[in-house]
Amino acid sequence: MIQSLSYIGFTSPNANDWLDFGPQILGLEATERGADGAVRLRVDDAAARITVHPGERNDLAYLGWEVAGPAALEAAVEALEKKALVVRRGDAELARARSVSELAWFVDPFGFRHELSYGLLTRPSTFRPGRAMSGFVTGSAGLGHVVLIVPDLAAAERFYLDVLGFRLSDRIDKGLSIRFLHCNTRHHTLAFASVPGMVGMHHLMLEVASLDDVGTALDLCTARKLPLAMTLGRHTNDWMTSFYVRSPSGFEIEYGWGGRTVDDDATWEVLSYDAQSIWGHRPPASPLPPGVLRPFQRSAQ
């Protein structure tokens, strides 16, 4: 059903701060703003993959998932409706705002809005990073990965695996229990951890093409005294060498290089780990709150 994380949107009272943070720290390219004044950012030749809308509070607004085309979108809508989900069709105006050909959307049991689309507008050879860098790992692997906070781990496993069709990569079950799911060769495109009674956004991972880009970004964060949620380290399961910086909108950006891939589902072995990192990834002396959280309220679609 889902091929990749195509785009993502947030709301934030600090949307304008992304005009500096995105290009100067992360190397993103700022493009034309949305009709509502949203800051729209590019990571590759796609028109925009990250959008930060002006809003009263920091929040995850929507997750945009790519499907193969019109037939795949119709099949996905039909399959979701059979699972008793209310799926709504996006109109032409919404499709233009997201820079896609067509989309449909629904709200999951945890209140997250998911948009299924195809035909992401692409302008070949036009990406210009905001600072000198090698570029981002995207293509068929999509934007990156997102980690959500859910109130019920088992319910989230059932929904994202059985309903949306993600596949389990592996799991961590010591301390904070986390499930890692894939839909393409990226080790995980979606992961989630359970915090009882809470729901929210923990981090968005952006993978760069060179380890030097990670070091450069870390130097920039240090020079500007930007708050780090975790120091440089390497993860046990996806082998990503990365650090975590607090974004202007309250959630973390994991900025990394060298992620492991799932090249063949038939031979992939699902493992369990009792640590998140091989080395590093230390929190600061005064740990930051874990992303953007809010009390869970069951949504009425």
Give the model confidence (pLDDT) of 250-289 as tens digits: 999 999 999 999 999 999 999 999 999 999 999 998 887 7
Model pLDDT, residue 290: 77
Dist CA 295 CA 28 (whole Å):
32
Domains of the chain with bracketed CATH: 4-118 (3.10.180.10), 139-292 (3.10.180.10)
For the chain, what is the largest distance between any 2 Cα atoms, rounded to a whole number of angstroms? 53
Model pLDDT, residue 299: 61
Given a cut of 50, the residues of the chain with pLDDT beneath it are none
The count of residues in the chain is: 301
Model pLDDT, residue 175: 77
Model pLDDT, residue 301: 53
- The helix (H) or strand (E) run that includes residue 20 is helix 18-20
Which of these, 251, 264, 253, 248, lies nearest to 291 by C-alpha position?
A: 251
Model pLDDT, residue 180: 98
Model pLDDT, residue 142: 98
Give the model confidence (pLDDT) of 216-232 as tens digits: 999 999 999 999 999 99
pTM: 0.97
Non-local (6+) Cβ contacts of 144 within 8 A are 5, 43, 136, 138, 186, 189, 204, 205, 206, 207
Model pLDDT, residue 16: 98
